[in-house]
Amino acid sequence: MITLGLLEKNTFLEAVNKKSGANVLECYQCGKCVSTCPVSSYMDFPPREIMQMIKLGLKEESYMANSMWFCLTCSACSGRCPREIDIPAVMEAIRHLAIEENYRSENKKVKDIRKFHDIFLDMIKRYGRNYELRMMAEFNIRTRNLFKDMHLAPKALLKGKIPIGHESTKSAKAIQRMFKLAGKLEKEKR
Amino acid sequence: MNKLTYFPGCSAHGTSEEFDHTLKLVMKTLDVQMEEIPDWNCCGATSAHVMTENLALALPMRNLVLAEKLENKTMGIACASCYSRMKGTKKHLDENPEQAKRINSTVIDEGEYQGTVEIKSMLQYCFEEIGLETIKSKVTKSLSGLKVACYYGCLLTRPKDVTQFDSPEYPMSMDLLMEALGAKAMEFDFKTECCGASFSISNTEVVESLTGKILEVAKESGAHLIVVACPLCQSNLDMRQPDIEKHSGKKLDIPVMYFTQLMALAFGYPEKELRLPKHIVPVEAALKHIGDPVPEPEKVKKTKKAVEAESEVE
């Protein structure tokens, strides 16, 4: 539903501005972010359009977009934005809001990206540090794509590019506690 | 002797072990004593900030708190991604003391956060703290004849208000560092383009497309090899290169080295210390260019237009 600012309060815009610390209303739609963004061609709504969607209060459409999942936080856009809007922070805000409000895109790419991040965090929770080889293996298992990158494995393993072993932090308990408490904080603010 | 608190990051003890190893050699020559943060944890890198706000701050905060307990207050970070997360977190915590207190409660067993540590990337540390003159004075084997393309990626210089280092559009610190070692840094327009980072696993075709362009432009610059300062850039540019060649049909064959590997070489360490067998794209042939005769710099020929313009001014 399109809300016309004047008639109805745009609570979505307010939530995004608050979370990101940016002011999306300052965007004057020049499109420099789109031409700068290395992945805008993969987004269903490139950054400029997302900015306008937020201004129009198109909450669900924004949450279901793949854009914020494709954003690499490379900050090329914000560096060139003539209004100096922190666009990656805006992308991050709608991503976090979508997670908090339980919006899940069925897009295969978005699902894969989310799975990757879940596995990465799982590695930290388990070992305190990333275990690169296991992360790759788990990704293949969880995305049911067992042979992905397998052709690279012999060379990468033989050459020692990807070590087979891994390290852990000694304070496993402290890490797990941090995960628990940070999770609690995440719920509290909702 | 200078002291430096060191945060290696997970990949320095994994896929980028050659970065960690040569960095330690180089720092030894430069008389810098590195002290690794005891029992550090992963900074959360690409993933924590994507999924959660609080954990993304808590993970780096624990490292910052542990680092504050050490005597030295300058921290050097090897990985560009860790650098960005740690420095970005510090900035955020310092600007939002209320939230800092809340996040601190998740790691309070380690101590109270003070915000007393200054964070630098290892490239920044070499450039700002050690200085090119000192680096030049340690060179025993000039890299003259070697042409390099310096690739910085996104996070070493962006966002500007976090990194406070070099230009976000066309940085020169690594180029100048390479020239101090005797190498020639080529003009390279893609030096701050994104390599696709963690999409290497979850979205490989994006990385192949982005990395492919970077490799192609580096090749066109005339460089013998690419120099990087980030483990993720290195593994994307190096490990994905054979697939990119296969899919595009273009021969690239351009090796990707860490700036510390080249520093170690110039400081006189033997080649075996560089851990060259770890590279997927072989490096040895490119290094043979060291010692190539360097042509006198060509005098810039004035174009007809420039001559006309000048005479008009006169």
DSSP string, A128-171: SS--HHHHHHHHHHHTT-TTTTGGGHHHHHHTTSS-SS----S-
What pLDDT score was predicted for residue A6? 58
Cis peptide leading into B159, omega within 30 of 0?
Answer: yes
Per-residue pLDDT of A140-180, as tens digits, reads: 988 888 888 888 888 888 888 888 888 888 888 999 999 99
Pairing of strands B256-258, B2-7: unpaired
* B298 pLDDT higher than 70: no
Q: Let me know whether B183 and B118 are in one domain.
A: no
Per-residue pLDDT of A68-125, as tens digits, reads: 999 999 999 999 999 999 999 999 999 999 999 999 999 999 999 999 999 999 999 9
Q: Let me know whether B146 and B75 are in one domain.
A: no
CATH number at residue B80: 1.20.1050.140
Among partner residues A73, A118, A132, which is closest to B14 by beta-carbon distance?
A132
Question: Does the beta-carbon distance from A132 to B15 stay under 8 Å?
Answer: yes
Question: Does the beta-carbon distance from A179 to B55 stay under 8 Å?
Answer: yes
Query: Two tokens at A129?
Result: 């540090």
Q: Let me know whether B278 and B149 are in one domain.
A: yes
pTM summary value: 0.92
Residues of A in contact with B16 (CB under 8 A): none
Question: Does the beta-carbon distance from A76 to B203 stay under 8 Å?
Answer: no
Per-residue pLDDT of B64-97, as tens digits, reads: 999 999 999 999 999 999 999 999 999 999 999 9
What pLDDT score was predicted for residue A104? 94
Q: Let me know whether B144 and B283 are in one domain.
A: yes
* B242 pLDDT higher than 80: yes
**What confidence tier does A7 reach under pLDDT thresholds 50, 70, 90?**
low
**What confidence tier does B314 reach under pLDDT thresholds 50, 70, 90?**
low
The interface residues of chain A toward chain B in range 112-171, judged by CB-CB distance below 8 A, are 112-118, 120-121, 123-124, 128-130, 132, 135-136, 139, 148-149, 152, 155-156, 159-163, 166-167, 169-171
Q: Let me know whether B157 and B118 are in one domain.
A: no
Question: Does the beta-carbon distance from B42 to A124 stay under 8 Å?
Answer: yes
Q: Let me know whether B156 and B114 are in one domain.
A: no
Q: Let me know whether B83 and B144 are in one domain.
A: no
Q: Is B303 domain-assigned?
A: no
* A3 pLDDT higher than 60: no
ipTM: 0.91
Q: Let me know whether B228 and B179 are in one domain.
A: yes
Q: Give me the number of domains chain B comprises.
A: 2
Q: Let me know whether B72 and B167 are in one domain.
A: no
* A4 pLDDT higher than 70: no
* Count of A-B CB contacts under 8 Å: 168
Residues of A in contact with B10 (CB under 8 A): 129-130, 132, 167
Q: Are B41 and A129 spatial neighbours (Cβ–Cβ below 8 Å)?
A: yes
* B305 pLDDT higher than 90: no
Lowest-confidence range among B37-41, B122-126, B194-198? B194-198
CATH number at residue B240: 3.40.50.11810
Q: Let me know whether B168 and B272 are in one domain.
A: yes
Q: Let me know whether B196 and B258 are in one domain.
A: yes
Instruction: Supply the range of the domain harboring residue B149.
Output: 140-287
Q: Please, what are the domains in chain A?
A: 11-100 (1.10.1060.10), 108-188 (no CATH)
Q: How much of chain B, in percent, has pLDDT values that exceed 90?
A: 90
Q: Is B295 domain-assigned?
A: no
Candidates B188, B165, B60, B173; CA nearest to B115 is B60
Q: Are B82 and B230 spatial neighbours (Cβ–Cβ below 8 Å)?
A: no
Phi, psi torsion values for A130, nearest 5 degrees: -80, 140
Q: Is B27 domain-assigned?
A: yes
Among partner residues B55, B160, B197, which is closest to A182 by beta-carbon distance?
B55
Q: Let me know whether B97 and B228 are in one domain.
A: no
